[in-house]
Amino acid sequence: MPTRRDVLTGLAAVALTARPLGAAAPLDLRAAAGRAQLAPEGYAPTPVWCFDGTVPGPEIRLPQGARLVRRLVNDLPVPTSVHWHGIRIDNAMDGVSGLTQEPVPPGGSFLYDFALPDAGTYWYHSHTSSMEQVDRGLAAPLIVEEAEGPDVDADLVLMLDDWRLDPETVEIAPFGNLHDLSHGGRFGNLVTVNGRFESRTPTRSGARLRLRLVNAANARIFACALQGMEGWIVALDGMPLETPELVAAPLTLAPAQRVDLIVDVTAETGSEAGLVSVERDGAYMLAAFPVQGSAARTRRPAPAALPPNPVPAAGDPAAAPLTTVRMRGLPSAEHEGVRLEPRELMERGLFWALSGTAGRPERPILDAARGEVHRLALVNDTAFPHGMHLHGHHFRALGPDGTPGPLRDTLLVEAGQTQQVVFVADNPGKWLLHCHMLGHALAGMTTWLRVS
């Protein structure tokens, strides 16, 4: 028999958790320490930081136009926050600690609740001390589905990452290596796909697959090619291409970039198709697709373009005002309002500047009125490539003749290259612009713009 007291506490609990009809309780997203079998079988699992106990974290998959509602619960020993990379999001939900929200302290929580305007392949990751936190495993795919998706036999996310593990203990190597920060970034010695050393997905000859590639690595630029498969690029950084493009040359994915492919398995039964990584000294299998049986169909026609997302058109880019964002290594630069010499910058772990400022400046690099069209000239005056990411917007890189290319949120700018981009500043708020080689972002390559 329940006592009267049990009943009363039960009722009180009901009253406390009562919500308006129709509103479901938000799901939790728990950031905590965990373990993941990153190294091959036979090695110990690696201590990681992760969402909901897995590396990568749980795939969130919602229909276009839905709201994403998650209560971040921080069970880490350090403050954290979540950035929803590539979502044209409400600024307060962008997850940049110190700019759009306070970091969530250990034991604290934060309710993320926002609309998903665009279909496509996105991802979410920590945006507090991201150099370390993303590298320790706080990253996961976010898939927004089209109302009517393409006709495929499977829809698979391949999240590429690399890890720097101690070869003996397979623990994540310590952070704070200044050589990483001042050079190409923190490269790993173990590449994983969806958190696994080996990725094998059985398929059939003739099957048509949608592959969603996400580069979650800290610094590694992946160059990928197809083996035993033929296919088309249908979207970049979530945004559909107007016309699917046949995969010919290797696909380049800078950190944070995504590529959606639709591929047809051409390999015969008993052989192996796959996504391979192309490197200077040869190629190796990233994700294998052992072919077992045949889908027994005739070859399908090329896929149609995915439905476009509601991104406003920029009009004639030549008419848009131009802001220069100059990337430099080891200049004398401004930091927190003070001019410092290279040595003083190095002492603070700063090795890079954007337009003369190392680290996020007090004032935005651009103040745009809502709805204005703007150009940025991303000038790479350094000896390294940089993958520049703008929050809250997608932009188009301009070709040599000024023609706008496909929509992107992260652009690889090669050493010595200048790349102009155009975008409609239609999303009010404070938006970060930074290199997504996270060591570079930490060591100075971070700025921001404001739309009001």
Question: Which residues are near Cu ion by CB under 5 A?
Answer: 386, 435, 437, 440
Residue 212 interacts with ligand C2O (CB under 6 A): yes or no: no
The CA-atom distances, in angstroms, between 181 and each of 12, 162, 349 are: 54, 17, 8
What does the DSSP 8-state code read for residue 54? B
Nearer to ligand C2O, 181 or 256 (CB): 256
Binding partner selected for residue 85 from ligand C2O, Cu ion, none, CB under the kind-specific 5 to 8 Å limit: ligand C2O
The residue count for the chain:
452
Show contacts with ligand C2O in window 252-291 (CB under 6 A): 256
Binding partner selected for residue 440 from Cu ion, ligand C2O, none, CB under the kind-specific 5 to 8 Å limit: Cu ion
Please check whether residue 68 is in contact with residue 113, taking contact to mean a CB–CB distance below 8 angstroms.
Answer: yes
Residue 432 interacts with ligand C2O (CB under 6 A): yes or no: yes
Show contacts with ligand C2O in window 389-418 (CB under 6 A): 389, 391
Residue 127 interacts with ligand C2O (CB under 6 A): yes or no: yes
Rounded to the nearest angstrom, the gap between the alpha carbon of residue 421 and the centroid of all alpha carbons in its chain is 19
Two tokens at 193? Answer: 């796909």
Number of residues forming the site for ligand C2O (CB under 6 A): 10
Nearer to ligand C2O, 195 or 303 (CB): 195
Nearer to ligand C2O, 128 or 277 (CB): 128
Q: Give the separation between CA 392 and CA 364, rounded to whole angstroms.
A: 15
Nearer to ligand C2O, 83 or 210 (CB): 83
Please return the burial class of 17, using the count of CB atoms within 10 Å of its CB with bins 0-12, 13-18 and 19+.
exposed
Q: Which of 30, 70, 85, 210 binds ligand C2O (CB under 6 A)?
A: 85
| C-alpha torsion sign, points 163, 168, 171, 174 | negative
Q: Give the separation between CA 426 and CA 407, rounded to whole angstroms.
A: 15
Amino acid letter, 397: A
- How many CB atoms sit inside 10 A of residue 212's CB? 23
Instruction: Name the segment binding ligand C2O (CB under 6 A); options: 21-29, 246-254, 333-341, 428-436.
Output: 428-436
Residue 368 interacts with ligand C2O (CB under 6 A): yes or no: no
Residue labelled with tokens 């952070």: 175
Residue 366 interacts with ligand C2O (CB under 6 A): yes or no: no
Two tokens at 379? Answer: 């000038």
Q: Residue 433 CB, nearest distance to Cu ion (Å)?
A: 12
Binding site for ligand C2O (CB under 6 A): 83, 85, 125, 127, 256, 389, 391, 432, 434, 436
